[in-house]
Amino acid sequence: MKSKFIAALMTLLLVTSAAPIQARAAAQFSDVDTHWAKKEILYLSDRNIIGGYPDGTFKPNQPITRVQAASMLAKALKLSLSEDTSTEFKDVAKTSPHYQVLATMNELGILRGDNGYIRPGEKTSRAQMAAILRRSFNMPLDKQATFIDVTPAHWAYQDINGIAKQRVAGGSKGKYMPADYVTRAQFSAFLVRALDDSQKLSAYHSYVGVKGKTVEQNGFSYTIAKEGYNSKLFKENLKTGKREAIVIPENIPSDDTFQVHLLKGFQLIVYNDEIFIPYWSAVGEMSELPIAYGLMKVKTDGQNLVLMNQPNGYTFRNMFIWNDRIYYTNEKNKERYFDYTFNPDKPVIDDPLVLYSTAMDGSDKKKEYGFDARVIFDNVAFTPNHVQVNQNNKSVLFDHSTMYYFNKKGVYKYSLLDKKTSKLSNVIGEDMRVTETQLIVTDTKGKTHTLKK
């Protein structure tokens, strides 16, 4: 009886070990033959970085623990395990067979604990995996938003963006799912991509657009500015300061309609390697006010300029690009025609707006949301004397995966991710802007209010 108990205990210890015993050959893994990560699993197995279980399985869909991840990384990085016994953990004894690898990873700052606890048996989340891998391979942190469900407020935001930019990890339908557990197969795939450049994902793709009068991305800034008598789209190298005009009026297709394609103050959206610029597709000859709006796009190198057929119209405003779709608003009840009689200051009214989205080519139009917003427009005009009626309401603002808006009842936010609306404040706004953690609203009396996003 005693021998059977010892045998059972030894089997249990082997199965729960941080580094399961190496299978005799990779081909003996009975549960990976048709698995999507078979190639990556065998890659690591052939290099003795990971092994299987005594029953001949690999258990690819089982969550990987922190100590298992640490053991794999120590082998992959060929680390010399620390002989120093000064590091102490409240949950791992110095006599534990896992102590050295955990102490080594902790001293290197790769695997970090809290309050003396290293939590060896805890399942590893996708966010933790991103941080661990980025530190292990010294990948740069990255501030560019990548996934729709990872905002700048997330503790691993820059880690996740960093490994995504290095083509080590991707998502699903624009999501990274940072709180989900990493399986042994997933960790194997991520680790192989980090080890071998030839195994990386084919390309990096962000699912969150960046909008503004000046947009910075990948070491360059993009803005529309006036040079001489004309406005041009400029690209500037932020490191060298070199600036070049990548779109000039002469290169933009036009017809006999009075149009304005580029004007200082126009907001643009950078989405991966393309720049989207709303423009005035029809302007009143006498009033010089925009009558209708269109959208053009161009590569970030200035090539392949296209005037898109859709979306467009009299009330095509408040555009954003998110999760491979174009978002914008239209007026619900009518298409208001603005002329010299329109007073942008008073009376201040609310407009019923409808948020729509389309595919990136303007097709597949969908109604997303209806709401009321103040009729206050972004300050863009030929001269300060012109009535300022433009593409963007100051009362509507997009930030990452959220649309903020204000009306006569207060300030609200609408999540593009879960399609839920919540009221943030009773403040009657006149303008607003965002930081990483706050929404800053200016009310009708000029007072500033700081709201938590």
pLDDT in tens, 361-401: 999 999 999 999 998 888 776 666 666 677 889 999 999 99
Token pair 């534990």 in the structure block, residue? 96
398: left (phi over 0), alpha (psi -120 to 50) or beta: beta
Which helix (H) or strand (E) is 72 found in, with range? helix 66-76
270: left (phi over 0), alpha (psi -120 to 50) or beta: beta
Give the number of other CB atoms < 10 A from CB of residue 159: 24
Residue 70 makes CB contacts below 8 A (sequence gap 6+) with 18, 98, 101, 102, 105, 110, 111, 120
What's the pLDDT band for 4 if we cut at 50, 70, 90? very low
Share of residues in the chain with pLDDT > 70 (%): 89
What's the pLDDT band for 29 if we cut at 50, 70, 90? confident
Residue 160 makes CB contacts below 8 A (sequence gap 6+) with 126, 127, 130, 146, 147, 150, 154, 169, 176, 178
Q: Provide mean pLDDT across the span 90-99.
A: 91
Helices (runs of H) and strands (runs of E) counted in the chain: 7, 20
Q: Provide mean pLDDT across the span 415-440.
A: 95
In whole angstroms, give the CA distance from residue 210 to residue 28: 49
Amino acid at 324: D
Q: Provide mean pLDDT across the span 412-433.
A: 96
pLDDT at residue number 8: 39
In whole angstroms, give the CA distance from residue 432 to residue 439: 7
Whether the pLDDT of residue 22 is over 50: the answer is: no
Average predicted confidence (pLDDT) for the chain: 88
The tokens of 50 are what?
Answer: 């990971």
pLDDT at residue number 337: 63
Angle between helical axes of 184-195 and 38-46 (0-180°, round to 10): 70
For 68-80, what is each residue's pLDDT tens digit?
999 999 999 999 9
For 190-214, what is each residue's pLDDT tens digit?
999 999 999 999 999 999 999 999 9
Residue, of 294 and 290, whose pLDDT is higher? 294
Whether the pLDDT of residue 13 is over 60: the answer is: no
pLDDT at residue number 382: 63
What's the pLDDT band for 61 if we cut at 50, 70, 90? very high
Q: Which fold has domain 210-394?
A: Lipocalin (2.40.128)
In whole angstroms, give the CA distance from residue 134 to residue 159: 6
Residue 183 pairs in a beta bridge with 63
Kindly list the domain boundaries of the chain, sorted by start residue.
37-199, 210-394
For 311-350, what is each residue's pLDDT tens digit?
998 889 999 999 999 999 998 876 666 666 666 666 778 9
